[in-house]
């Protein structure tokens, strides 16, 4: 390794640490220099709170960055990070469930509860990954599915138990505030042990860079290598998450900075990522402490890293070299049109049945299940019909958006949420809640549209410079989504009760749909899905690759731009009516393909029907399960959809 | 029999609205529902029982007293009250707060709606706003007499607490809820707790103002900013199970004046975002505790 490849990362670490130390010393000076009357207490706070906090920042940053670097190396995926495998979501779910149902267990140790949750999530991901021989794709895919499922379930539990929300939000947003040395002293040896393990597998990791075939030819046992590296990365992330909560973005940003600064080989990547992550979190936290007086509200460090980290990634994006395609595109399956027709004969009646059941069958005030009583028919129709219409067409729009995105990017995990459109809409509503104080439904709609199109504009701006490469668009979307999560996290951790409103909105409830919104959704859905149908040839040819499609007469640049714009518009409209229900956008295209809708046009229509049906069913379950309390349809669809998707995946490839 | 009277009243109101459609809105409401705990609790003190309230299931955790009659139905979460339940109850008055303003246009299509704000973004002391809201509610349900009696009873109770506190030379107090072993919510101006403390002659040890709900979220180490060694720390239930064991291990906590015996206590909760009944419960819990400790 040349000296030059270390120069860049080293100067970055040095710069970060210098600024951080200046800030830290300025903070410590009054305590160490001054022997005033109050120096006793100030000294105790400095020794037992400020110093351990700094140590925790350094250690947690190192752990997370090393974890992220390991994931990115072993999965050969620049988007991989500790959160991709569902570690934090699993820990979060365990903590939420224990807090609500067996609070006594917390006396046992909050860390232990979170650790078992993340271990369970990781175990589940492993189990699913093992069937696919730990291929990079299957690990990330199962990780995201598990993560979505855990996230949805924790959200449901929190929504039904609002009173505990604040403490869970603080934990989720990752606060580094300390009152003793317990946490840093327990993190340090754990990090040391993992570092030793990583040193042992360093040489095969270097060979892993050659690709599957190359590494195997040199005698590297890829399966075992991945298991060891992933266990190390999972453990690191779990230690941090259970100790101080989710500080997710460091694990994604630090390895990216290291790579951009010139650390290319596996060894240099791991070492410099770790040091950069450590310095980065330390700097963030000292900056936060130095400015703490300026902010009236309590700010958790994890949320702040994400707010500053995600735009950084957006800025770096055009310079990032994407060495590998995200996923191998699924092998094209030759199926006769007969299959699509047979599938349509199943899906169409099923959709009609679900719609009728959702409309006429419901709960009554005495808590039983009942057909619509005739005397209340008018009132109930007026309440249920707009929601069902909006749910159906929004589900359909998300499904079509997902189909377009998956075909456009050749990435099976592309969905409207990954694009960041839903996140933008949520950000718009968050702005509305704080600018207008108590926005009416109209203001909410307006602001969410503004946010959605704002994101669309930013994505175009970033992606246009790089020739609309699908990977860059996805990365931009993920960065934006993380930023929105962070903003919501900050709002939540300040204990502001308006956070509950945002959480509900994010979870995708059809509750506040008006007749006008439902009609609008229906009209726009028909128009936009029709437009997608006109582009079916492009959708059939683009998955073959840019050069092949161009050779067959597809204007690749223009086609990508138009399709991306259409997918964005579809997601924006759907999000405006029923919140960011991204899981349907991920699930319905897969469902349609599994049922036999393989070519673009049938997959668009079949996917739309599946998506609409799923949304309506989810909405009905959400209205009925906890009656008179409501569970948002988006969460229900995620809870029902994730295990379903896993079953389908396993049947298809297992 | 109160039930009979209510039913007769309802029939009368129904007849009145049939005969005089434009007087329907000013008729005395009989079937009242509330989206807010504070307003529902005040309604009970005016001698009226709401037909339904939002989040009824959690009343016994947060409000505790007055006891809610069993026949009060649950409207679901106050964010998303269940309109299928609401419409089947055929209410003639809906009580809500600016907090739920997004729902108001829809509520108004079901029944006349009264919005009363105690915790509002404009800020300002909560207790006077709670008194004003009580008066407005009493006027709307045509119980102005009962309203004045209730307010006078509350003020008299505060006066008696003030007298009891004067006798015992009470220390400054810091009031918190533990969120977890490292974080707490501390109650300060312009909140209900803070206003009641002022009213009954107690000093709040946390002087920085909070948000308009009257609290601030802090790391526990910031409790060291409280410098008066006489200060007593009061935590309200629920306290998560791991908080006390963790704190006892912390040298920082041990160095705080509150770790000394008699300077820290845990009291049962009172609704911090409530109205007069909750203020009274809080004042009683606090005064009783301080007397016992003195």
Q: How confident is the model at residue A653 (pLDDT cuts 50, 70, 90)?
A: very low
Domains of chain A: residue spans and CATH: 4-24+43-319 (1.10.3470.10), 343-653 (1.10.3470.10)
CA dist B52 and B7 (Å) reads: 16
Residue A459, token pair as written in the block: 């994505």
Element (H or E) spanning A207, and its range?
helix A202-208
Maximum mean pLDDT: which of A553-562, B131-140, B254-263: B131-140
**pLDDT at position A26 over 90:** no
Query: How many percent of chain A have pLDDT more than 90?
Result: 12
Region B19-36: what's the mean pLDDT?
69
**pLDDT at position A94 over 80:** yes
Say if CB A217 and CB A165 are below 8 A apart: no
Of B211, B217, B215, the C-alpha closest to B123 is: B211
Return residue ranges of chain B for CATH 3.40.50.1980.
2-150, 169-293
Q: How confident is the model at residue B291 (pLDDT cuts 50, 70, 90)?
A: very high
Region B238-242: what's the mean pLDDT?
78
More confidently predicted of A219 and A328: A219
B182: chain A residues, CB-CB within 8 Å: 175, 177-179
So what's the pLDDT on residue B216? Answer: 85
Distances (CA, A) of A544 to A406, A408, A548, A554: 13, 10, 6, 11
So what's the pLDDT on residue A242? Answer: 78
Q: How confident is the model at residue B39 (pLDDT cuts 50, 70, 90)?
A: very high
pTM (two decimals): 0.75
**pLDDT at position A423 over 80:** no
b/e burial code for range A306-342 (CB count within 10 A of at least 16 → b): bbbbbeebbebbeebebeeebbebeeeeeeeeeebee
User: In this predicted structure, which of B137-151, B161-175, B225-239 has the lowest mean pLDDT?
Assistant: B225-239
Question: What is the dihedral sign for C-alpha A556, A562, A568, A571?
Answer: negative
Pairs of residues, one from chain A and one from chain B, whose beta carbons lie less than 8 Å apart:
160
Distances (CA, A) of A470 to A240, A386, A531, A599: 32, 36, 21, 21
pLDDT tens, residue by residue, A376-387: 777 788 888 999
| Contact state of A496 with B211 under an 8 Å Cβ cutoff | yes
Q: How confident is the model at residue A136 (pLDDT cuts 50, 70, 90)?
A: low
Q: Tokens 């102005």 sit at which residue?
A: B144
Average pLDDT over chain A, rounded to an integer: 77
So what's the pLDDT on residue A296? Answer: 42
Distance of CA A482 to the CA centre of its chain: 7
Report strand pairing: B32-34 vs A369-371. unpaired
pLDDT tens, residue by residue, A293-342: 544 456 777 777 767 766 666 665 555 554 444 444 444 454 556 677 88
**Nearest residue of B to residue A169, measured between CA atoms:** B179
Q: How confident is the model at residue A96 (pLDDT cuts 50, 70, 90)?
A: confident
Maximum mean pLDDT: which of A336-350, A529-543, B12-26, B134-148: B134-148
So what's the pLDDT on residue B140? Answer: 93
Maximum mean pLDDT: which of A14-23, A25-34, B45-54: B45-54
Instruction: Choose the closest CB to A48 out of B62, B245, B252.
Output: B252
Q: How confident is the model at residue A445 (pLDDT cuts 50, 70, 90)?
A: low
So what's the pLDDT on residue B147? Answer: 95
Interface of B with A in 94-133 (CB under 8 A): 98-99, 101-102, 105, 121
Region B108-122: what's the mean pLDDT?
88
CA dist A248 and A430 (Å) reads: 21
List, as one string, the DSSP characters of chain B: -HHHHHHHHHHHHHHHHHH-GGGGGGSPP-SEEES-HHHHHHHHHTT---SEETTGGGHHHHT--SPPPTTPEE---SSS--HHHHHHH--SEEEE-GGGGGGHHHHHHHS-EEE--SS-TT---HHHHHHHHHHHHHHHTT-HHHHHHHHHHHHHHHHHHHHHHHHHTPPPEEEEEE-SSSEEEEE-TTSHHHHHHHHTT--BS--S---TTSEEEEEGGGGGG---TT-EEEEESP--TTHHHHHHH-HHHHHSGGGSTTSEEEE----TT--HHHHHHHHHHHHHHHHHH-
Superfamily, domain B169-293 = Nitrogenase molybdenum iron protein domain (3.40.50.1980)
Say if CB B168 and CB B228 are below 8 A apart: no
**pLDDT at position B3 over 50:** no
pLDDT tens, residue by residue, A462-489: 666 655 565 566 666 656 666 666 666 6
B241 interfaces chain A, CB cutoff of 8 Å? yes
User: In this predicted structure, which of A314-323, A420-429, A578-587 has the lowest mean pLDDT?
Assistant: A314-323
Instruction: Choose the closest CB to A107 out of B73, B183, B245.
Output: B245
Interface of B with A in 196-225 (CB under 8 A): 211, 213, 215-221, 224
So what's the pLDDT on residue A277? Answer: 93
Which ipTM was obtained for this model?
0.76
Q: How confident is the model at residue B111 (pLDDT cuts 50, 70, 90)?
A: very high
3-state DSSP of A440-472: CHHHHHHHHHHHHHHHHHHHHHHHHHCCCCHHH
**Nearest residue of B to residue A103, measured between CA atoms:** B241
**pLDDT at position A622 over 80:** yes
So what's the pLDDT on residue B16? Answer: 42
B227: chain A residues, CB-CB within 8 Å: 38, 41
**pLDDT at position B188 over 60:** yes
**pLDDT at position A410 over 90:** no
Query: How many percent of chain A have pLDDT more than 70?
Result: 70
Say if CB B205 and CB B227 are below 8 A apart: no
| Contact state of A180 with B251 under an 8 Å Cβ cutoff | yes
| Contact state of B220 with A105 under an 8 Å Cβ cutoff | no
So what's the pLDDT on residue A332? Answer: 47
So what's the pLDDT on residue B13? Answer: 44
| Contact state of A167 with B180 under an 8 Å Cβ cutoff | yes
So what's the pLDDT on residue A278? Answer: 94
Domain B2-150, architecture per CATH: 3-Layer(aba) Sandwich (3.40)
User: In this predicted structure, which of A288-292, A615-619, B108-112, B210-214 has the lowest mean pLDDT?
Assistant: A288-292
Say if CB B268 and CB B64 are below 8 A apart: yes
Say if CB A632 and CB A159 are below 8 A apart: yes
So what's the pLDDT on residue B174? Answer: 94
**pLDDT at position B274 over 50:** yes
């Amino acid at each position: 390794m040349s000296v030059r490849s270390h120069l860049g990362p080293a100067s970055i670490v040095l710069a970060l640490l210098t600024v951080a130390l200046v800030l830290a010393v300025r903070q410590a000076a009054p305590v160490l220099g001054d022997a005033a009357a109050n120096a006793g207490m100030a000294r105790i706070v400095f020794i037992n709170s400020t110093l351990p906090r700094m140590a925790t920042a350094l250690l947690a940053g190192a752990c997370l960055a090393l974890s992220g670097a390991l994931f990115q190396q072993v999965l050969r995926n620049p988007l991989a990070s500790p959160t991709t495998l569902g570690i934090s979501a699993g820990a979060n779910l365990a903590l939420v469930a224990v807090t609500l149902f067996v609070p006594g267990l917390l006396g046992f140790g909050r860390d232990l509860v979170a650790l078992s949750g993340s271990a369970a999530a990781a175990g589940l991901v492993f189990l699913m990954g093992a069937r696919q021989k730990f291929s990079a794709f299957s690990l990330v895919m199962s990780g995201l599915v598990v993560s979505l499922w855990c996230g949805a379930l924790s959200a449901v539990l929190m929504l039904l138990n609002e009173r505990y929300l604040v403490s869970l939000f603080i934990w989720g947003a990752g606060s580094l505030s300390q009152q003793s040395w317990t946490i840093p002293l327990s993190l340090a040896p754990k990090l040391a042990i993992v570092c030793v393990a990583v040193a042992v597998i360093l040489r095969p990791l270097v060979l892993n860079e050659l690709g599957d075939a190359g590494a195997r030819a040199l005698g590297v046992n890829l399966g075992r290598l991945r298991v060891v590296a992933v266990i190390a990365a999972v453990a690191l992330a779990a230690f941090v998450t259970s100790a101080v909560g989710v500080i997710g973005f460091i694990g994604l940003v630090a390895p990216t900075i290291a790579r951009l600064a010139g650390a290319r080989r596996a060894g240099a990547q791991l070492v410099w990522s770790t040091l950069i992550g450590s310095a980065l979190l330390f700097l963030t936290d000292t900056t936060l402490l130095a400015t703490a007086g300026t902010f009236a509200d309590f700010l958790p460090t994890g949320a702040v890293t994400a707010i500053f980290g995600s735009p950084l990634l957006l800025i770096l994006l055009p310079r990032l070299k994407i060495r590998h395609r995200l996923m191998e595109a699924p092998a094209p399956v030759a199926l006769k049109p007969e299959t699509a027709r047979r599938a349509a004969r199943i899906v169409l009646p099923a959709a009609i049945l679900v719609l009728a059941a959702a409309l006429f069958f419901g709960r009554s005030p005495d808590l039983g299940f009942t057909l619509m009583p005739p005397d209340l028919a008018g009132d109930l129709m007026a309440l249920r019909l707009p929601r069902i219409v909006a749910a159906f067409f929004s589900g359909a729009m998300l499904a079509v958006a997902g189909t377009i995105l998956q075909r456009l990017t050749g990435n099976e995990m592309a969905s409207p949420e990954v694009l960041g459109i839903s996140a933008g809409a949520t950000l718009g509503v968050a702005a509305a809640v704080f600018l207008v104080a108590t926005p009416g439904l109209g203001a909410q709609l307006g602001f969410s549209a503004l946010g959605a199109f704002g994101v669309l504009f930013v994505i175009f701006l970033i992606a246009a410079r790089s020739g609309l490469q699908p990977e860059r668009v996805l990365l931009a979307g993920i960065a934006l989504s993380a930023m929105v999560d962070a903003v919501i996290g900050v709002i939540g951790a300040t204990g502001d009760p308006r956070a509950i409103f945002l959480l509900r909105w994010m979870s995708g409830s059809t509750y506040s749909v008006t007749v006008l919104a439902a009609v609008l959704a229906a009209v726009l859905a028909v128009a936009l899905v029709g437009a997608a149908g006109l582009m079916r040839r492009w959708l059939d040819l683009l998955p073959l690759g840019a050069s092949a499609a161009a050779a067959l007469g597809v204007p690749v640049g223009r086609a990508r731009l138009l399709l991306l714009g259409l997918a964005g518009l579809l997601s924006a409209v759907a999000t405006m009516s029923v919140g960011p229900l991204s899981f349907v956008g991920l699930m319905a295209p897969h469902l349609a393909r599994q049922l036999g809708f393989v070519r673009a046009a049938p997959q668009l229509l079949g996917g739309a029907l599946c998506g609409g049906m799923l949304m309506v069913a989810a909405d009905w379950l959400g209205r009925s399960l906890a009656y008179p309390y409501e569970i948002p349809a988006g969460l229900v669809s995620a809870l029902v959809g994730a295990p379903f998707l896993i079953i389908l995946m396993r049947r298809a490839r297992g | 029999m109160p039930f009979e009277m209510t039913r007769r009243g309802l029939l009368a109101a129904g007849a009145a609205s049939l005969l005089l459609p434009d007087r329907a809105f000013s008729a005395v409401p009989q079937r009242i529902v509330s989206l807010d705990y504070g307003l529902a609790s005040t309604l009970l003190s005016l001698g009226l029982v709401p037909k339904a309230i939002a989040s009824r299931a959690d009343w016994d955790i947060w409000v505790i007293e007055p006891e809610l009659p069993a026949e009060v139905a649950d409207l679901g979460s106050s964010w998303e009250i269940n309109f299928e339940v609401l419409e089947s109850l055929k209410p003639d008055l809906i009580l809500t707060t600016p907090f739920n303003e997004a729902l108001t246009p829809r509520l108004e299509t079901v029944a006349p709606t009264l919005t009363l704000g105690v915790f509002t973004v404009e800020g300002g002391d909560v207790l006077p706003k709670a008194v004003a809201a009580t008066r407005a509610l009493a006027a709307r349900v045509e119980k102005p007499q009962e309203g004045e009696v209730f307010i006078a009873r509350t003020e008299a109770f505060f006066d008696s607490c003030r007298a009891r506190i004067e006798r015992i030379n009470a220390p400054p107090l810091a009031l918190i809820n533990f969120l977890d072993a490292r974080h707490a919510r501390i109650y300060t101006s312009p909140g209900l707790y803070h206003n009641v403390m002022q009213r009954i002659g107690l000093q709040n040890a946390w002087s920085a103002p909070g948000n308009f709900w009257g609290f601030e979220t802090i790391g526990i180490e910031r409790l060291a900013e409280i410098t008066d060694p006489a200060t007593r720390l009061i935590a309200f239930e629920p306290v998560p199970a791991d908080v006390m064991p963790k704190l006892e291990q912390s040298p920082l906590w041990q160095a705080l004046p509150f770790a000394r015996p008699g300077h820290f206590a845990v009291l049962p909760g009172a609704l911090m975002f409530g109205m007069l009944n909750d203020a009274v419960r809080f004042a009683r819990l606090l005064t009783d505790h301080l007397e016992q400790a003195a």
